[in-house]
Amino acid sequence: MRYILLSAILLLSFASCEKAETPASREDELRSGKWKLVAGTAKWDPAIGLDTLINYYNALPDCDKDDYLVFGTNFQGSQFSDGKCDPSEPDEVQFMWELYDNGTGIHFWYANETFFEQSAVSAPFVSYTSQRFTIRHTEYRPNPVDSHQRDTITFTHTFGKF
C-alpha cells in the first residue's frame, strides 16, 4: 500500500510541474509572419554639398507599398507583390537571409527588389520587437561632380508584421 501511495504522490508531483515556456528565437519570430515596409528614409551625405534626409517611403507608389517579405526556412525568403506597378513584374522574388552577431543584425542577399538594386545588404537592428523591426545600412557611391570623392547614403527601413 505504501508503494502505491508513494507512486501516486510522485505521479501527481510530476503531473503538476509546468514546463517553462521557451521564448521564440528571433529567427522563429521573423519566420512566423509576413513583413511589410512601413517606413523608410535615406540620408544623403554628399562629399560636396549639404546633407539631405529623404523620406523615400512617402514617395513610393502604392503598388510598391503593398509588397511584403516572408522569411522562410533554410534562410530562404521571398518578396511578394500584391499590386504590380508593371505587368511584367514577377509575383514572387527569392532572396537569402541570415542573422548575425547573435541576432543583432541581418544579412540579405539577392534582395535587389527590396533594397534599391543593392544585391547584398548587412544591417544591424536599430530596434526590434516581435511585431516590428528597423534596420540601417550605409552605401557609398562616387560623387557625380568629383569621382575621387564618395557620397554616403544611410538607409533606414522599418518593417511591420501583419
| Residue 37, pLDDT score | 97
- Classified by CATH at the fold level, domain 25-161 comes out as Lipocalin (2.40.128)
pLDDT, residue 9, reads: 58
Query: Is residue 75 exposed (0-12), middle (13-18) or buried (19+ Cβ within 10 Å)?
Result: middle
Could you give the CA distance from residue 136 to residue 72 in angstroms, rounded to a whole number? 22
Whose CA is closest to 71, among 102, 39, 104, 25?
Answer: 25
Give the model confidence (pLDDT) of 98-125 as tens digits. Answer: 999 999 999 999 998 889 888 899 999 9
Q: What is the pLDDT of residues 32-86, one digit of tens each?
A: 999 999 999 999 998 888 899 999 999 999 999 999 999 999 999 999 998 888 8
pLDDT of 2 > 70? The answer is no
Expressed in percent and rounded to 5, the helix, strand and coil fractions of the chain are: 20, 45, 35
What pLDDT was estimated at residue 135? 98
Quick one: pLDDT band at residue 145, thresholds 50, 70, 90? Answer: confident
pLDDT band at 23 (very low <50, low <70, confident <90, very high): confident
Instruction: List Cβ neighbours of 138 (8 Å cut-off, separation of 6 or more).
Output: 152, 153, 154, 155
Residue 148 has pLDDT above 50, yes or no: yes
Enter the pTM of the model. Answer: 0.82
41 within 8 A of 152, measured Cβ to Cβ = no
pLDDT higher than threshold 70 for residue 10: no
The structural domains of the chain, with segments of one domain joined by +, span 25-161
99, with CB counted inside 10 A (0-12, 13-18, 19+), is middle
Buried b (16+ CB within 10 A) or exposed e, 29-42: bbeebebbbeebbb
Q: Determine the pLDDT at residue 4.
A: 56
Instruction: Please say whether the beta carbons of 29 and 22 come within 8 A.
Output: no
